[in-house]
C-alpha cells in the first residue's frame, strides 16, 4: 500500500531536481541530452515521479494542438474520443511510443491527438481559440472519469510517469525526439503520493512548469485562482503555479517580468526605497494580485513557445544555477547537471532570489516557428 504524506509517520523532506536546456538559435537538441542532465541528480528524487517537456518536437504538426492523454480504461478512452470528435477536428491520433521497462510499471493507456477546434463549435462558443481549448481540456479533466489531458500545447509535449526521471526518459524513448528547448523534473513528493498525473511538468496550453519546493501559500493561491474558472483537482503546488502562470500571462497579459514580480514580489520595505516609476508599478502589482504571491521555498522553470524562464523565491531557499555556452543556456538545481552535457561553459552564475532569468529565441528563429518577435 502506498502511504500518503503524513500517514504512519511517513514524512518526506523536500527535495526534487529541475533542469532546462535552451538553444537561442532553435538548434534542435536530442531528448537524450536532458535525460543525461537530470540523471546526474538521481539522489534528489525518490522514484515517485519524473517528467520532461520538449518544445519544437512536432514540426510536422506545428499548427495543431497536441493533446497527450492518460486513460485508466478503454471505456474512458471511448468517452473522451467522442467528446473530442464533437469539439475538434482530429488530424491524427496514435499511442505515444514507449519502451516497456521493468523500472516503470502500471502504466495507463497513453495516447496522443493532434487537433484543431471545429470552426462551428468555436464560433458558437464566442471564445478565442486558446480559451476554447482550455475550457475543453478542463471539462475532460474534471467531468470525464478515468482520463486526464496532461499536455495540450502546439509543437510541444509533456512526458511524465511514476519513476526516476532517467527511467521515464527511456520509457518514452526521448532519444527519438528533437527540440530547441527541454525541461526536466525529478520528484521527491512532500504532500501528495506519487501518481502519473501528479508528476511534473504540469502544463496548460504551451506553458509548462517544473518546480522544486513546497509553497506555504497554496490554499490562498488556490482559492483565488479557482474564482477564475480553474479547478485545482490534483492538490499539488505545481498545478496551482501553472494556473497562476496561465492567468497572469494569457488572461491578464502581463509580461514575464511583471509575472515574476507578482509571484516572487519584493518586500514592501524594498519597494519603499525604489525610485519612480518602479515604486508605483511594484505597489500596483502587489496590491492588485496580493493573493498570487507565492510564499515558501521554490525554484521553477517555465517553458513556453519561443522561450524559457527560471525563477527562485525571493529568499532563494532552493538552489538554482545558470550556465551559458555559445547560443545555449543551461539551468539546473546543481552545476553538475549542466557540466555533464557541456563541460566547458562560457559563463555560470546563481540568480538572486526573485530575479527572473528569461531566455528567448533570436528574432530569426522566432519568425521561423511563427512566434512573436
DSSP run (H or E) holding 36: helix 31-39
**The 357-360 sheet, strands edge to edge:** 202-204, 207-213, 298-304, 307-312, 357-360
Pairing of strands 347-349, 328-332: unpaired
Look up cell 519584493; give the residue: 266
Active site residue 16: yes
DSSP character at residue 315? T
Q: Tell me which of 16, 136, 181, 232 is the catalytic residue.
A: 16
Residues 6+ away with beta carbon under 8 Å from 187: 16, 45, 46, 48, 49, 50, 51, 165, 194, 199, 200
Closest CA to 52 of 25, 67, 27, 33: 33
Check if the beta carbon of residue 185 is closer than 8 Å to that of residue 201.
Answer: yes
Give dist(CA 45, CA 199) in Å, integer.
12
Q: Strands, DSSP E only, in the chain?
A: 17-23, 29-30, 50-55, 65-71, 88-95, 109-117, 147-151, 156-161, 178-179, 181-186, 202-204, 207-213, 298-304, 307-312, 321-325, 328-332, 347-349, 357-360
Give dist(CA 188, CA 49) in Å, integer.
7
Pairing of strands 347-349, 357-360: unpaired
Following DSSP, what letter does each residue of 265-300 receive, concatenated? PPPHHHHHTSPTTHHHHHHHHHHHTGGG---SSEEE
Distance, CA of 217 to chain centre: 19
Catalytic residues: 16
Amino acid at each position: 500500500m502506498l502511504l500518503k504524506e503524513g500517514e504512519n509517520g511517513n514524512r518526506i523532506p523536500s527535495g526534487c531536481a529541475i533542469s532546462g536546456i535552451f538553444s537561442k538559435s532553435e538548434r534542435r537538441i536530442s531528448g537524450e541530452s536532458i535525460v543525461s542532465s537530470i540523471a546526474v541528480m538521481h539522489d534528489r528524487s525518490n522514484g515517485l515521479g519524473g517528467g520532461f517537456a520538449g518544445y519544437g518536437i512536432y514540426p510536422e504538426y506545428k499548427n495543431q494542438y497536441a493533446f497527450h492523454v492518460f486513460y485508466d480504461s478503454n471505456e474512458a478512452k471511448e468517452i473522451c474520443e467522442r467528446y473530442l470528435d464533437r469539439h475538434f477536428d482530429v488530424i491524427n491520433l496514435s499511442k505515444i511510443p514507449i519502451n516497456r521497462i521493468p523500472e516503470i510499471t502500471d502504466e495507463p493507456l497513453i495516447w496522443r491527438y493532434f487537433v484543431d477546434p471545429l470552426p462551428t463549435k468555436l464560433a458558437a462558443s464566442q471564445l478565442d481559440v486558446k480559451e476554447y481549448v482550455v475550457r475543453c481540456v478542463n471539462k475532460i479533466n474534471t467531468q470525464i472519469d478515468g482520463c486526464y489531458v496532461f499536455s495540450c500545447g502546439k509543437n510541444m509535449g509533456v512526458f511524465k510517469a511514476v519513476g526516476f526521471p532517467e527511467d521515464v526518459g527511456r520509457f518514452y524513448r526521448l532519444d527519438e525526439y528533437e527540440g530547441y528547448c527541454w525541461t526536466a523534473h525529478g520528484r521527491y513528493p512532500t504532500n501528495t503520493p506519487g501518481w502519473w498525473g501528479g508528476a511534473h511538468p504540469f502544463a496548460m496550453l504551451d506553458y509548462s512548469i517544473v518546480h522544486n519546493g513546497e509553497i506555504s501559500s497554496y490554499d490562498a493561491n488556490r482559492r483565488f485562482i479557482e474564482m477564475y474558472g480553474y479547478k485545482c483537482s490534483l492538490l499539488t503546488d505545481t498545478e496551482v503555479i501553472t494556473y497562476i502562470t496561465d492567468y497572469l500571462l494569457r488572461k491578464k497579459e502581463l509580461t514575464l517580468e511583471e509575472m515574476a514580480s507578482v509571484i516572487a514580489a519584493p518586500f514592501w520595505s524594498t519597494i519603499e526605497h525604489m525610485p519612480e516609476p518602479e515604486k508605483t508599478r511594484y505597489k500596483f502589482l502587489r496590491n492588485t494580485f496580493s493573493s498570487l504571491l507565492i510564499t515558501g521555498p521554490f525554484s521553477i522553470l517555465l517553458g513556453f513557445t519561443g522561450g524559457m524562464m527560471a525563477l527562485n523565491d525571493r529568499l532563494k531557499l532552493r538552489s538554482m544555477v545558470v550556465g551559458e555556452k555559445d547560443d545555449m543556456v543551461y539551468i539546473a538545481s546543481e552545476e553538475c547537471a549542466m557540466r555533464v552535457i557541456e563541460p566547458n561553459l562560457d559563463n555560470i552564475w546563481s540568480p538572486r532570489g526573485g530575479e527572473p532569468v528569461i531566455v528567448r529565441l533570436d528574432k530569426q528563429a522566432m519568425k521561423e516557428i511563427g512566434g512573436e518577435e
